[in-house]
Structure 1
């Protein structure tokens, strides 16, 4: 009986960032840090006002806490960080934007009051748009502390800048309003209710 090698599937499931990758960074507490960052020849990205952070050879699960700790030391008291390879430039992971069954997928980044934050490849069959509420359900739903009337969508405009829009999810959940379709690269932030004492 051949010895088990548990590390192989883990490596396949968690591709690492490499020099030349374009990474998308989202920091909930400081939107000025958001943007695309190139992994440079030295294996690092350069974040304005923060400096160099080495990410080459790290998986997303390893890079996110490193960036968070670095920002908390240099810029912020608290940092909620998402780091993801920009869709379409993944290295060594096969066809980007299509799942194992060949169904097209839309990559969105979800943060805030949800059970599973991070990047989500949402199945989007050809000819069918997927709404924001639908995408949140597919990715794990909302927590009981979610602020439903102030869901924030950060989306690239024609000039390449991210613009924020706010939607009220309550009429959508009741079937009284259309569910606005998601777009590739959207950041969906679900704020948490603030309780006063």
Structure 2
């Protein structure tokens, strides 16, 4: 199946796709290939095209899978890029814009993050990471793989005073899990406030 999809895509070379948007049929073939191929075996020269695909133009049964695969690939890119960055990442850099750290919305967003292989975090764990890395929540979404999903209550629930629920997710290969592990042991004060010994990056020095 994957071989047939790959052969079909040969009619739309990557170099040509960069100059013009792929036609709908080719987009669907590309998404099918990415959804049925192990991530390690994906053609790197076509990742940019896949990330540019608008899921709204796909058959409904492919949309969530496409969104989940995009989250997974973006996470791997952040992790890979992070290995080449200095330990203190945002010295003298401006604050990221809101569009760089937009949360997903709804229960669908929760499902997409789980489908992408992300693991959930408690709000207290996110607060701890924020303190230790000296990153804002938005900066952690830019520099690391933190993702947030906001689930708004129904109109009826809002009338009863219910507020939106916020879910946090982090990719399993993110270096911030070093800090999460320390927090979960209950020994977060054992090393003081400087965790450089654990080898995790930060946004700025305390």
TM-score normalised by structure 1 residue count? 0.28
Structure number with larger C-alpha Rg: 2
Return the structure number with greater helix share: 2
TM-score of the aligned structures, taking structure 2 as reference length? 0.28
Greater relative CO, 1 or 2 (CA 8 Å, sep 6+) = 2
Q: Which has the higher strand share?
A: 1
